[in-house]
Amino acid sequence: MELLDLSLISSTIRMVTPILLAALGGALCTRVGIFNVGLEGLVLVGAFSAIVGNHFTGSLFLAILFAALICVLFSLLFAYMTIGLKANEIVVGVAINFLALGLTTFALRAIFGVKGAFYDKEMAGLPKLDIPVIKDIPVLGDIFSGHSPLVYLAFIAAILLYLFFYRTVTGFRVLAVGMNPVAARSLGLKVTGLQVLAITMCGVLCGLAGAQLSLGQVTMFTEGMTAGRGFIALVAMMMGQSHPLGILASSFLFGLMDAISIRLQGFSLPTQFTSMLPYLLTIVAMFFVKEKNRAGGNQQSSR
């Protein structure tokens, strides 16, 4: 097995999906002036809810819908605390993360009667879609065809979010709210409504991210299975400057490191070492974001 080959790109596309979906959700919140650090918890809740929905309904569509619905409820709790009660968004986001970790652990034992992980060999995962024409093209077919529907949906969501922000009236209003909510309110924009809408859509995207994680990649749930992907999505969102296409590029970078870390396990390297790679990149990226922000601050101060 080689470290760098075409299958690594295919694996990267699959690994990038949960990060990309969660990062797009975080960008929606940031664009309305709310920094949502609860992405990790929302994705974890989505992963667990998808398994629960699939177990009790036997329908993958209903399972994904259930995951999105539960994440929307958690997002509305976040919205009520931060917008309605004016609580600190960082504190609320951290609380959401810990609540999700404890609640999924408790629910895993209460619903399935198991500890650590739940796996059902009868449970079906997300199907693989073969793209007509492209699947028959050498190289391209191996890379871009045969992924789950949520993988393609994630990339389409990035494009749609770009069009929403920069080609629609509602998108311009969302950007205006994020730039200056007081000025936006003085112009008659419904600031609170747009903020709640953005947080709700963030919940939907995080629910899809969790469903891809538990049904698209492994078809099981383990405690804390997000393993920091929500925080990585947060960094990807910051690196991409909350721009959908920038987030797409930065998420691909983190997905590539995730895929490489898994590939390195086949070279007899310790799992603990290879698992560190995405988080090492996250730390390096934070230095880059810090320097960029500092440069931006200097430019602003010099005006």
pLDDT in tens, 262-283: 877 777 777 777 777 777 777 7
CA geometry: angle at 9 spanning 39 and 4, to 5°?
Answer: 120
Name the pLDDT band for 88 (thresholds 50, 70, 90).
Answer: very high
Q: Tell me: the pLDDT tens digits for 92-129?
A: 999 999 999 999 999 999 999 998 899 888 888 899 88
Q: Is the pLDDT of residue 9 over 80?
A: yes
Name the pLDDT band for 139 (thresholds 50, 70, 90).
Answer: confident
Q: CA 276 to CA 119: how far, in whole Å?
A: 26
Q: CA 118 to CA 122: how far, in whole Å?
A: 12
Give the three-class secondary structure for 147: strand
β-pairing, 221-222 with 117-118? Answer: antiparallel
Backbone angles phi, psi at 129, to 5 degrees: -100, 125
| Percentage of residues of the chain with pLDDT beyond 70 | 93
Output the six-digit token pair for 16. Answer: 């990038």
Name the pLDDT band for 297 (thresholds 50, 70, 90).
Answer: very low
What mean pLDDT do residues 151-161 have?
94
Length of the chain: 303
Q: CA 57 to CA 64: how far, in whole Å?
A: 11
Q: What is the DSSP string of 11-67?
A: HHHHHHHHHHHHHHHHHHHHHTT----THHHHHHHHHHHHHHHHHHH--HHHHHHHH
Q: CA 51 to CA 69: how far, in whole Å?
A: 13
Contact yes or no for 240/250 (Cβ under 8 A): yes
Output the six-digit token pair for 68. Answer: 């999105």
What mean pLDDT do residues 26-52 have?
94
Q: Is the pLDDT of residue 295 over 60?
A: no
Q: Is the pLDDT of residue 302 over 60?
A: no
Name the pLDDT band for 296 (thresholds 50, 70, 90).
Answer: very low
Task: Check residue 102 and give its pLDDT.
Answer: 94
Q: C-alpha dihedral over 156, 282, 96, 175, to 10 degrees?
A: -50
Residue 221 parent element (H or E): strand 221-222
Task: Check residue 292 and give its pLDDT.
Answer: 54
pTM over 0.85: yes
Task: Check residue 3 and give its pLDDT.
Answer: 64
Positive or negative torsion for Cα 127, 38, 68, 108: positive
Output the six-digit token pair for 181. Answer: 């909510």
Contact yes or no for 217/50 (Cβ under 8 A): no
Q: Is the pLDDT of residue 303 over 70?
A: no
DSSP 128: P
What mean pLDDT do residues 76-83 have?
95
CA geometry: angle at 103 spanning 262 and 48, to 5°?
Answer: 45
Contact yes or no for 247/196 (Cβ under 8 A): no
Alpha carbon of residue 195 to chain centroid: 19
| Percentage of residues of the chain with pLDDT beyond 90 | 56
Query: Of 178-192, 237-251, 274-288, which range is least confident?
Result: 274-288
